[in-house]
Structure 1
Amino acid sequence: MIINEKFLFSAGAEVKEYNTGDVIFQDGASPLYYYQLTKGKVKLNNYNKEGKELIQKIISEGESLGESLLFIDKPYPVDAVALEQCTVIRLYRTNFFSMLNVYPHLYFNLCQGLSDFLYYQYIMLQANSSQNPAERIIGVIDYMKDSKKDHTPFSFKVPFTRQQIAALTGLCVETAIRTIKNMEKKKIVKIKDRKIYF
């Protein structure tokens, strides 16, 4: 959890529910709220000129989304779309800054969350700069597994579909599927009941 919910609610936060496919905020819109996900998954995505989807990140429970733009007053460069039924706590921008003034220790939590997001961006940039599709895919799933306690082989169930893996790595779906099958043959991943384990 980035910011304890009690601080958000004391500052006037509200709970919003989103269904699968609902847009939480859109590319080009002005950032008006701090958002913190308490249930579900949200993708931050955009599309290239050819219309191919690029997923920048998949946000999980306890994470926030789009907060960095509250500090620089720039429009969102991505869409935030619910991947499943979601519950989000949202706090209006001016209330968010008032809360930070009243509870300055929350800046540390916020900086920690922003630093984690920057670290993720660095890892993804490095992985996605590779011409090797397997290195791109391993970069994504290795980052996810790194946050878990169990690092033994095949202990991590990849929470993404093959379509999402392709969109996260900039690969076409067919390449992602073929690469994952080759990775299974090389015993880099294990596939069980159509789920990928790393």
Structure 2
Amino acid sequence: MIPEELLLKYTAETKRFQKDEIIFSEKQTAHYYYQIVSGVVKMNNFNDDGKEFIQGVFYKNQSFGEPPLFIDVKYPANAVAISDSTVLALSKSNLFKLLQDNPETHLKITQSLAKRLYYKAIIASEISSQEPAHRVLRFIDYLKDDVYKVEGKYSFKVAYTRQQMADILGLRVETVIRVIKSLEKKGDVKISKRKVYR
């Protein structure tokens, strides 16, 4: 999102996290802007019964956990490395200086946050009112059309596991597995080597 050379110019530090290592925890104060160089990071919460709810999964060149930096609130979720990951961390004060000095980058950050708000609104609506098959397909279409902007039938590979989709959509993993098989029979998705394509 922000060019790595620009982050390094403003003194970003390179941090490495092992799989399952916590990057920051819910209710901690936000001090850094984080952007992924390699690996995968999820943001999650747990309900009172210990069930995980995944807020989002982030990949190379994506940032995570920025909103609390701009509104001085604590993190609403944990950030955890799903795989061994390398992350650039830039202090809050230096991030603000970078954005003031580079208005085009500031606009990109604003657009990225707006996309996430749009996504949250759609997913909240889907979770509250729709059947599981509709939820799963709408989530995949959001990723294909709005996030990655991929065209063509079966051209988009879903990077989420069935468990991650279940955790994001508030479903049981067995339900997601059953729904995906049903969608494949209808020709809405294709499964190849356990990967889902839309």
TM-score by length of 2: 0.92
- Is residue 2:193 matched to residue 1:193? yes
Q: Which moved more, 1:170-179 or 1:148-157?
A: 148-157
1:103 is displaced (CA, Å) by 3.0
Give the percent of matched residue pairs that are identical in Structure 1 and Structure 2. 45
SS of the equivalent of 1:129 reads: helix
Kept in 1, the 8 Å contact 2:100–2:106? The answer is no
Which amino acid counterpart does residue 168 of structure 2 have in structure 1? Answer: L
Kept in 2, the 8 Å contact 1:162–1:173? The answer is yes
Which amino acid counterpart does residue 35 of structure 1 have in structure 2? Answer: Y
Kept in 2, the 8 Å contact 1:130–1:136? The answer is no
1:85 is displaced (CA, Å) by 1.8
Kept in 2, the 8 Å contact 1:8–1:91? The answer is yes
The equivalences for 1:42-61 within 5 A come to 42-61=41-60
Match of 1:19 in 2: 18
The C-alpha deviation readout for 1:151-187, integer Å capped at 9, x for no partner, is: 3222211111111111111101111111112212222
Relative to structure 1, is the Cα distance of residues 49 and 14 closer, same or farther in structure 2, using a 3 angstrom cutoff?
same
The equivalences for 1:145-156 within 5 A come to 145-146=144-145, 147-148=147-148, 150-156=150-156
Match of 1:115 in 2: 114
The equivalences for 1:89-168 within 5 A come to 89-146=88-145, 147-148=147-148, 150-168=150-168
| Distance (whole Å) between structure 1 residues aligned to residue 38 and residue 44 of structure 2 | 19
Unaligned runs of 5+ in 1: none
| Distance (whole Å) between structure 1 residues aligned to residue 178 and residue 98 of structure 2 | 49
Match of 1:64 in 2: 63
Match of 1:173 in 2: 173
User: How many equivalent residue pairs?
Assistant: 197
RMSD: 1.5
1:150 is displaced (CA, Å) by 4.2
| Distance (whole Å) between structure 1 residues aligned to residue 54 and residue 194 of structure 2 | 22
Match of 2:77 in 1: 78
Q: Which moved more, 1:137-146 or 1:104-113?
A: 104-113
SS of the equivalent of 1:38 reads: strand
